[in-house]
Structure 1
């Protein structure tokens, strides 16, 4: 069945998928463009939040979204959740599903169509009150094996209830096993007969040299956007006013920390994600853009600062991937405790209070004299003299510095060290 990733990763589906033999549990290899559409759609949803739990439906105009509008559908629940109205259906999705303008409700969606992959998940949004991302492969209505990746995002007409859901999906069709075997054989033969490339030739993730990458390298190349998506889905629950809890917050921060760790081995992909979101890396506060990517740049600035400090403290303590939730739960004071610890660590050890001047003066009174000079001593106990090097190990005193008590005390303190 398709893999849906929501708040708890243990979603109770609104429909029974146990008998859906057309959907496979096989891991899905979806190309970079499909993954980026997934992320761009979520970035768009976050940009419409403007500090609210859910974006306003008034701000959504799917027909004017050139990027993923043709691959999207808008469901209207204002008349009830049993059979939502289809308010918008993108041209690409309409053509793929071979439906005409007569389809107006979810009940009319053809079974085994790509559109049904989106509409089958809508009750999860109602239950979890946060965006849901999912991916799978299935045999479509034309008999082709289709790999797809989708996201459903909640919208509201009153700022509190979810009465609209906007879905975006991208897909690609896979060839049958016989054709794939033939293609693999032809590719292997062409590689055997091709000249050996230079050792410094680039290896593209989806090009002829892709098989020279290890599985771990390929997962790392394509997995960063997925990690961000997973962290964002959990963070969306924290942003919703009625779902804020310490457990949900710690889970969201844990996934944000795991994403931060994964950026270290995916620097180029991370730079592209920052550019897509209009953010820049910060050398002095490296966790701040991480928090903004996950929770949204419009999130409360004080909370962004706190979250970034907590993640930075975990990194300072070399917490491994997957260990942040345990780390923060065991920390004294929880989130506030980590923020305090990080701020103290940044300030370093506090400087000791300066020794009282009388104690410094007493120390200097007992120090043996280096020389005695026949000149007027004046009324002050300590006097600053200016000397120049005279050669042969001697100094010539050329002036007496007077009239600056603070400067004299500073000189005495420095001499006493």
Structure 2
């Protein structure tokens, strides 16, 4: 929700405060709901002086009425259609009675028109004209419809592609001819530096469109993610054939290429630099893995789909591949090691403490436990010995 909606929310509250005049609640006599600044058309006045379980509707703003497609037959809360925007306000009124204070709220819902709608509202209590308890509630709500996430992602991607592939504005450069970027000619407009044509532009446009759809829908579909990674890989391969343009894109995006993480700028250009850093690191590992194995353009989704363990396994494989030769793998801690057996045994130790069990092999091939020793240092030395033995016998 943008600043306008938030300001309306705050303006309504500030108006309520201005009517307090040292009282716990403003008097209903001081409120003119149809002529309150610019938010009267977004308001509703509930009157429950007669029936707290089914308040009357003393006023309904024109914009709110039009949005909910309501006629003149709405006179009580019971008449409010479910899943209407007005119901988002009226559903909260009992909280005001219980808390005896204004309540603000925001959420989203699917309206009767089938649109996903974001809304922000506030309900404020008003006292009876005779100075008694709360008998009216004035509510204000603002809203906006949300575009379908996939449609919005496609629009965003097409807009980005239009900027990237846009013509160089030679005419615009003259306005900056005496500026600090004068020596860069047409590039002084900023957009000129992003202009590119051919396979790299197409590859980035397709990659961004697919990645944006994944981001906007917050999808957990493996196939959608694999498709986005596949197009990111295709873009990285296209960048090899147009290195100059790729380097310009990286620079204009404020990114840097580091020898230890060459694929990171690739995924940031596709998925956006503000995307989750952990996921970006994983995606960069996937692209690096695809490079190491010579995966051709268009083939990465199929490769990922057949890779046992998926992206997590690829990340682990890449970390192992980057580990210097002779470097010992990480030895699991006591808490990380899998349980191989469980048995009840009286040992003075707290949960999670290291306990060394001393046993001898029985004639029937079953271990006979003869002692249990709670000693962390002894357990650590025993595990290190076991790890060295396992490595020595590893084929």
TM-score category of the 2 structures, normalised to the smaller one: 0.3 to 0.5
After TM superposition, the score normalised by the length of structure 1 is: 0.40
